[in-house]
A and B are shown apart, each in its own frame.
Chain A
Amino acid sequence: IAGITQAPTSQILAAGRRMTLRCTQDMRHNAMYWYRQDLGLGLRLIHYSNTAGTTGKGEVPDGYSVSRANTDDFPLTLASAVPSQTSVYFCASSAQQGAPYNEQFFGPGTRLTVL
């Protein structure tokens, strides 16, 4: 593993189903993030975690939950998927939120379609 991995690469999901998007980083970064990317809307922050054991809400948290049990993993769960959650989801990490020149590294994304 090098950098950030996300799984699955893509998924078609029936509305109402539960889905967990997985994210793993091997850079020992403290901070991790989940974004959704929609055409014309750019990247919008869903949830973030500054360090293992803590999480926070971003711009569009409704319908999503996260957990951060350890440094490396940051899963995103859709408890009951709805069609408006059709999007491309990116996980990202950074050494420490608030550090000078805090570069975020992004995973390859998960394309989710909710029917």
Chain B
Amino acid sequence: QQQVKQSPQSLIVQKGGISIINCAYENTAFDYFPWYQQFPGKGPALLIAIRPDVSEKKEGRFTISFNKSAKQFSLHIMDSQPGDSATYFCAASNDQAGTALIFGKGTTLSVSS
């Protein structure tokens, strides 16, 4: 049973374009939704995170949109740059209950210059 479903598996975007990665979850008890960014040969690093009490969070060119009723959240990268080329993972956890993060399968983003 896959609790966090991520799509697409890969994405190619032109420089300056908008990259959109989507995730859906099943467990309504999840209350913490981070996105991690991983460059080749490196470990993942936290990019941005959201709690379900807000519908959107923006940090620079990165925005999380959250739809609690649909049990979906997405990452939007505005003005995508070649340096954004990486693998992105969504994740979810029941932070209040102290459960571990459950990760999506990842999206490999390539931004062409």
Give the B-binding residues of A (Cβ under 8 A).
4, 33, 35, 40-45, 48, 50, 58-59, 90, 92, 97-109
Contacts and interface: CB of A to CB of B under 8 A. Distances in A.
Interface residues on B, range: 20 to 34
Contacts, number: 61
Contacts of A98: 95-99
B42 interface: yes
Contacts of B49: 101, 103
A45 B100 contact: yes
Q: What's the dominant secondary structure at chain A's contact region?
A: loop
A33 B43 contact: no
B49 to A, nearest CB: 6
Given A33-B100, A48-B100, A58-B100, A100 B95 contact: yes
Which of A35, A43, A50 has the most chain B CB atoms inside 10 A of its CB?
A: A43
Given A101-B32, A101-B49, A41 B105 contact: yes
B54 interface: no
B86 interface: no
Contacts of B25: none
A105 B95 CA distance: 16
